[in-house]
Structure 1
Amino acid sequence: MEAIVNKDTCIGCGACVGVCPEIYSFDDDGKAEAIDGDVPSDLEAGAVDGRDQCPVDAIDIKE
């Protein structure tokens, strides 16, 4: 599983970072970003929850 943040859509609200800071963080522009590579299996539920909390649907999860 991989989490991908669309920087053009992200509004930097921080919902994903608040839900799962192990996967999501802020870049230098104040936009969310996800860790590179595969999401560890023990953090998959948090990654999905972070995506689901995004008010602008800027996060995609690839299986």
Structure 2
Amino acid sequence: MQVTAVLTPAVEGGFTAMNPETGCVSEGETVEHAVANLREAVELYLEEFPLDIVGPAVVTSFTVGAGA
């Protein structure tokens, strides 16, 4: 099953990783560690709460504030 990982730099260093399909969030010092930790969290979540994911999420970005 393919799911989505959204990574953002953490203020204290490293990365925060979030999976929008399940709402799981994890962290890691590197992108690779953050994704590995998120994968484990999502796998544990799906063991308890199976989902029928119909397709990949659409991820985009947009500008807010001055000049938007």
TM-score with structure 1 setting the length: 0.27
Q: Which has the higher contact order (CA 8 A, sep 6+)?
A: 1
